[in-house]
Amino acid sequence: MSSSEGSWILSFCDRPGNEFFCEVDESFIIDRSNLIGLKDQVPHYEYALELILGLDPDEDEARARLSQSMIGEQVTQTLYGLIHARYILTDGGIDQMMIKWRNGDFGFCPRFYCEKQNLLPVGLSDIPKASTVKLFCPRCVDIYTPINEYHQEIDGAFFGTGFPHMFFFEHPELKPGRPVINFVPRLFGFKIHPTVYDSQQI
């Protein structure tokens, strides 16, 4: 019943704009205990799950229409994204994301004093469609919008709010220190006191 194993997952991860995603291990998806609660969040759940696993869906007319529609692809991507958010909190998922992080696949911090620190994807909400994905810098502990327009459209719930923190909890040796140097505004060589701007607004 299985077509080329994992073909949907491989195809999805290989698409331009999906570089942030890792390949979820099929054994994780097959274990239904890892998917508890997702059925209520995703319409056509069983059908989307069959597509992700590379199974041949039932050949009734309704499913055939769904498979050819944008709606069918959207719900399948949503289900995979929510599964992905759970998978990257596991050892296997963290290992895959670590490779991407080390390769700079998520980009680098634009802050000058962070010295091109590698970023990690993070969601501002675990609820689908609530917010798009952001990029977390472990050095300045701030978040940024992805540069790539495709990445700017990715749902933040597909990475979750806790991923960067779990990443460094599992690998504290990878967590960088805070920047040693911080920018100090000066005028004619003198430091500008922060309250000077407040006095100008009075």
**What CATH number should be reported for the domain holding residue 110?**
2.20.25.20
| Domain co-membership, 79 together with 113 | no
Angle at 123 between CA 168 and CA 34, to 5 degrees: 75
Find the CATH number of the domain harbouring 46.
Answer: 1.10.1820.10
| Domain co-membership, 132 together with 74 | no
pLDDT at 6 over 70: no
pLDDT value of residue 73: 85
* Boundary residue ending a domain (54, 87, 120): 87
Domain contains 138 = yes
Interval 108-163: pLDDT, tens: 999 999 999 999 999 999 999 999 999 999 999 999 999 999 999 999 999 999 99
| Domain co-membership, 35 together with 68 | yes
| Domain co-membership, 170 together with 115 | yes
| Domain co-membership, 74 together with 113 | no
Q: How many residues does the chain have?
A: 202
pLDDT at 60 over 60: no
Domain contains 12 = yes
Domain contains 193 = no
Instruction: Give the range of the structural domain holding residue 145, as residue numbers without chain letter.
Output: 105-174
Query: Cα 26 from chain centroid?
Result: 19
Angle at 16 between CA 15 and CA 18, to 5 degrees: 70
Domain contains 93 = no
Domain contains 35 = yes
| Domain co-membership, 110 together with 76 | no
3-state helix, strand, coil in the chain (%, to 5): 45, 10, 45
| Domain co-membership, 15 together with 83 | yes
| Domain co-membership, 79 together with 112 | no
pLDDT, mean over the chain: 88
> Number of structural domains, the chain?
2
Domain contains 123 = yes
SS3 40: coil
Domain contains 2 = no
59 — pLDDT class (breaks 50, 70, 90):
low
Give the CA dihedral 87, 88, 89, 92, nearest 10 degrees.
80
Angle at 140 between CA 137 and CA 145, to 5 degrees: 45
| Domain co-membership, 23 together with 50 | yes
- Our separate counts of H helices and E strands in the chain read 9, 5
| Domain co-membership, 69 together with 110 | no
32 — pLDDT class (breaks 50, 70, 90):
very high
**Which residue blocks in 60-195 are alpha helix, DSSP H?**
61-67, 70-87, 91-102, 149-152, 163-170
190 — pLDDT class (breaks 50, 70, 90):
low
**Range with the lowest mean pLDDT among 63-72, 141-150, 151-160, 188-197?**
63-72
Q: How far apart are CA 179 and CA 81, in angstroms?
A: 33
pLDDT at 87 over 80: yes
The amino acid sitting at 106 is: F
pLDDT value of residue 3: 43
Domain contains 190 = no
Q: What are 55's two structure tokens?
A: 């199974």
Closest CA to 25 of 72, 73, 83: 83
| Domain co-membership, 147 together with 109 | yes
pLDDT at 198 over 80: no
61 — pLDDT class (breaks 50, 70, 90):
very low
9 — pLDDT class (breaks 50, 70, 90):
very high
